[in-house]
Structure 1
Amino acid sequence: MPTPILVKLLLQAALATLLMLMLWIGLDASLPGTVWSVMTISKSALTVEYCEFNHPQRFFHQPINTYSNLAYFFFGILILLIARHDYRNRVNRQANRLADFPLLSVLMGSCFVYLSIGSAFFHASLTYVGQRVDMNATYSILITLLGITLYHLVYRIRLSRLQQRLWVAALVAVIGLFLPLALLVPSSRLVPALILLLNAGMVMHFVQFRAQRSIGLVLLSLTLVVLAIYIRTLDVQKVGCDPYSFFQGHALWHLLTALSSFCSYWFFRFTKRRPPQLG
């Protein structure tokens, strides 16, 4: 795919994100904060976990932390558009292993959108259910990226279309299993463990295909997520905290983790020899 077509996909994703922003603005302006009052408040709200001020009268209790989730939405739509391209252009499918498995990109893009909506739901409502959905959506991205990594590490194995569907179904099942698992293992341990496992797998795949993969993307992805964790920690500890500021540390966490996750996807989906080609 020529670069102009990739730019077209970026513009389409940006347009979809703009439309979603307009929808969210409309919801925040027209619905009262009391909509969430029938739901159980999260521990995060009770302990004032994040710096941003809670506006209980607004539909979006934490507006900046809510709107910043559009970063996940943008990348999710972009990946779904790439998946659609892969479905329509399978002539060159042998050139890229992920291009030959567009359903896996569909799952990846869907997880980004899931996190966008799930995290927005949590920061808008500050409810227990929202917090659970937010955390599960976070795990869904990591699990899917690990699934993509494993699929590439066993590169000698070619999956049939049926086997591809079964692999995606298995990943969805694992994502579902993480709903109860998240209650047993603290996210402060599980999330870093999954991140380290993901980056270790990416390094292993880079060793397998040095000519095609970029170690720079691995380092960039890891750097972005480490920086995101650092900023989130400062936000939780209220270091340099201004509850009424337009700039919120947790909102930056959303942007950086979205970029980091997309870098991981980019590492597998695009080759180094002909960037930014698909297939």
Structure 2
Amino acid sequence: MPTAVLSRLILQAGVATILMLIGWAGLDKTLTASVWSAMKVSQSALTVEYCEFNHPQRFFHQPVNTYSNLAYFFFGVLILLVARQDNRYRTSHTPNRLAGFPLLSALMGVCFIYLSIGSAFFHASLTYLGQRVDMNATYSILLTLLGITGYHLGHRIRLSSTQQWLWIAAVLVAIGMFLPLARLVPSARLVPALILLLNAGMVIHYAQFRAQRSIWVVLLSLVLVVLAIYIRTLDVQKVGCDPYSFFQGHALWHLLTALSSFCSYCFFRFNKTPASLAA
């Protein structure tokens, strides 16, 4: 994809994110916490899991942790725009395998936006329902990335249009299955397991296509997520905690995990060689 086209898509995603920010700010200004009053409070709220102060009178109970989810929104819109671009110029000889499967990129973008809204819902309401949606959206990102990984590991297989839809359906079924599974297995086990599986798959694919893939993108994605987990742990343990500060550890977790997930997507979508990047 030419740099000029990618720059235009980034600008469009930035504008969409600013508009969403304005919309969220309007909701926070207009509505009150009474919207959430009929919902069950989450265990996270009862134990004061995160550092940021809970503003019980505001629509956004934790404003910084809520607004920071716009990072996921930005990357989600950007990936959707890439998917639209790929679909518009797709050919049977597309050099990048993921560019030839825009539906999978579109699902990735939708999952980013799902996490943006789901996590914002949780931090705005601190409800049990919000927490469940937030976690399922988190799993949706990881499962879709694993779906992309599996698609590339089977690089000798060319999927027909019908088979591509079936691949998308399989990923969606897996996301749905994680709704009950997440209640049985702690996220402290599931999330690291999925992250390790994803990175193992990327390393294997790198070994298959060294000329087209960059190991530095894999390492960057891993470093970012490890740093995010470390900062989230400090936030939960209230290390250096200032509940009223604009800078919150969990908000940084949102930014770093969004960047890490986007790096994982870029590893597959953008080839290392200039000729392939232009496709």
Task: Give TM-score, length-normalised by structure 2.
Answer: 0.98
d(CA) in 1 for partners of 2:93, 2:127: 44
- Aligned residues of 1:39 and 1:127 also touching (Cα < 8 A): yes
* Aligned residue number for residue 84 of structure 1: 84
**Match of 2:264, as an amino acid?**
S
d(CA) in 2 for partners of 1:106, 1:91: 17
d(CA) in 2 for partners of 1:223, 1:78: 22
The CA RMSD over aligned residues, in Å, is: 1.0
- Aligned residues of 1:34 and 1:56 also touching (Cα < 8 A): no
- Aligned residues of 2:218 and 2:263 also touching (Cα < 8 A): yes
**Match of 1:80, as an amino acid?**
L
**Match of 2:99, as an amino acid?**
A
d(CA) in 2 for partners of 1:17, 1:238: 30
Moved more, 1-10 or 188-197: 1-10
d(CA) in 1 for partners of 2:276, 2:255: 22
**Match of 1:91, as an amino acid?**
T
Deviation at 1:90, TM superposition (A): 1.1
d(CA) in 1 for partners of 2:197, 2:91: 33
> Unaligned regions of 5+ residues in structure 1, if any?
none
Deviation at 1:276, TM superposition (A): 8.5
Question: Aligned runs of 1:213-228 on 2, under 5 Å?
Answer: 213-228=213-228
- Aligned residues of 1:41 and 1:127 also touching (Cα < 8 A): yes
**Match of 1:113, as an amino acid?**
I
Deviation at 1:85, TM superposition (A): 0.2
d(CA) in 2 for partners of 1:206, 1:276: 16
* Aligned residue number for residue 272 of structure 1: 272
d(CA) in 1 for partners of 2:5, 2:105: 18
Question: Does residue 94 of structure 1 match 2:94?
Answer: yes
User: What is the CA deviation profile of residues 40-75 of structure 1, one whole-angstrom value per residue up to 9, with x for unaligned ones?
Assistant: 000000000000000010000000000000000000
User: What is the CA deviation profile of residues 191-245 of structure 1, one whole-angstrom value per residue up to 9, with x for unaligned ones?
Assistant: 0000000000000000000000000000000000000000000000000000000
**Match of 1:112, as an amino acid?**
F
Deviation at 1:277, TM superposition (A): 2.5
Question: Aligned runs of 1:189-228 on 2, under 5 Å?
Answer: 189-228=189-228
User: Against the structure 1 CA distance between its residues 275 and 139, is the aligned structure 2 distance closer, same or farther, given a 3 Å change threshold?
Assistant: farther
- Aligned residues of 2:95 and 2:276 also touching (Cα < 8 A): no
* Aligned residue number for residue 159 of structure 2: 159
- Aligned residues of 1:270 and 1:278 also touching (Cα < 8 A): no
Question: Aligned runs of 1:1-279 on 2, under 5 Å?
Answer: 1-91=1-91, 93-274=93-274, 277=277, 279=279
d(CA) in 2 for partners of 1:276, 1:93: 11
d(CA) in 1 for partners of 2:242, 2:104: 41
Deviation at 1:278, TM superposition (A): 5.3
The size of the alignment, in residue pairs, is 279
d(CA) in 2 for partners of 1:277, 1:7: 14
User: Against the structure 1 CA distance between its residues 197 and 278, is the aligned structure 2 distance closer, same or farther, given a 3 Å change threshold?
Assistant: farther
SS state of the match for residue 213, structure 1?
A: coil
> Unaligned regions of 5+ residues in structure 2, if any?
none
- Aligned residues of 2:231 and 2:250 also touching (Cα < 8 A): yes
Task: Give TM-score, length-normalised by structure 1.
Answer: 0.98
- Aligned residues of 2:212 and 2:272 also touching (Cα < 8 A): yes
Deviation at 1:92, TM superposition (A): 6.5
**Match of 1:77, as an amino acid?**
V
Moved more, 171-180 or 84-93: 84-93
**Match of 1:49, as an amino acid?**
E
Report sequence identity in percent.
76
- Aligned residues of 1:45 and 1:126 also touching (Cα < 8 A): yes
**Match of 1:129, as an amino acid?**
L
Deviation at 1:94, TM superposition (A): 2.8
User: Against the structure 1 CA distance between its residues 241 and 213, is the aligned structure 2 distance closer, same or farther, given a 3 Å change threshold?
Assistant: same
